[in-house]
Structure 1
Amino acid sequence: MTEPQQPTNSDLSQGRAYTAPQITVYYDAKRCCHVANCVRGLPAVFNPEQRPWIQASAAPAEEVARVVMTCPTGALHYVLEGGAPEQPDTPTRIMPAPDGPLIVRGNLLIGDQPETRAALCRCGQSGNKPYCDGTHAKVGWKSE
């Protein structure tokens, strides 16, 4: 079982660390909008019914990294041991989700934090601006 590790100061912006041989997965709960690409993509690793909910050693590191990259919000990130860091998409893409956030993928700088993926608030009601926190659904915001 993979126990969550306390992040170091340099990891604080990435969230809680879940370490396994060859990979560390970081989860930032404040940025998660529960799209669940991770749960559908690799349920043996990402299982919200277990504690800890991320079992990074339950699949090969490259497979875990592939599924982490499908997280549109950037709530999940990874670092491969001895491997290249997560690479941003080229070119940068901005896609509005129907009745939801702007999904942004690429070489991003949000505030002073480098990012590769983010879901940015469009409704103006998020409690975690500039990131979407799902408030648009609670307030009934619709895109036009």
Structure 2
Amino acid sequence: MTPAAPPTNDDLAQGKAYTGQGVTVYYDARRCVHVANCVRGLPEVFRPKERPWIQAENAGAQAVAAVVRTCPTGALHYVLDSQEAERPQEPTEVRALPDGPLVLRGNLVLDTPAGQVRDVRAALCRCGQSSNKPYCDGTHSKVGWTSSQE
């Protein structure tokens, strides 16, 4: 079986765009479960109490890209000017978070109600209650779901 080609810029450029010097950050609010790696990693760029909340011009492109890569859900992506898309992690990693989603990193092809999605990071629902399946939307914590219920 031939592995899928890595995602392209068009695959990853989903959600609202925020442009800075040399980088564009894309934010898909439906996939965000507020882990806040971005806010802790670059508080001068990711400012949830301000509008716009992403101020990509406040840091260098490489620093912004490095923090975006820490987003476990794939709610954040980036495209560097004049470069190819974010590269998938190799080998692909699948990790079940205790009492939370299944976190994937790698060259992903996901079947969703809207069709196939190519991505490099995703947090998938384990509780079965998400309103944004297959993605986690944080409902597990609202309904009291725990890993022991699997």
Normalising by structure 2, we get a TM-score of 0.87
RMSD: 1.4
Whether 1:117 aligns to 2:133 is no
4+ runs deviating over 4 angstroms: 10-13
Match of 1:133 among 105, 115, 137: 137
Deviation at 1:12, TM superposition (A): 9.3
For 1:13 and 1:138, locate their aligned partners in 2 and report how far apart those are by CA, in whole Å.
Answer: 30
TM alignment of 1:1-144, pairs within 5 A: 14-111=14-111, 112-144=116-148
Deviation at 1:86, TM superposition (A): 0.1
Aligned-partner SS, 1:110: strand
Runs of 5+ unmatched residues, structure 2: 1-9
Over 3 Å counting, the alpha-carbon distance change for 1:12 and 1:104 in structure 2 is closer
Corresponding residue of 2:4: none
Paired residues of 2:31 and 2:75 also in contact (CA < 8 A): yes
Q: Deviations over 1:2-54 (max 9, x none)?
A: xxxxxxxx579710000112100000000000000000000000010110000
Over 3 Å counting, the alpha-carbon distance change for 1:108 and 1:11 in structure 2 is closer
Q: Deviations over 1:104-143 (max 9, x none)?
A: 0000011211100000000000000000000000000000
Q: Percent identity?
A: 65
For 1:30 and 1:102, locate their aligned partners in 2 and report how far apart those are by CA, in whole Å.
Answer: 16
Letter in 2 for 1:135: T
Deviation at 1:81, TM superposition (A): 0.1
Letter in 2 for 1:142: T
Paired residues of 2:13 and 2:26 also in contact (CA < 8 A): no
Letter in 2 for 1:55: Q
Normalising by structure 1, we get a TM-score of 0.90
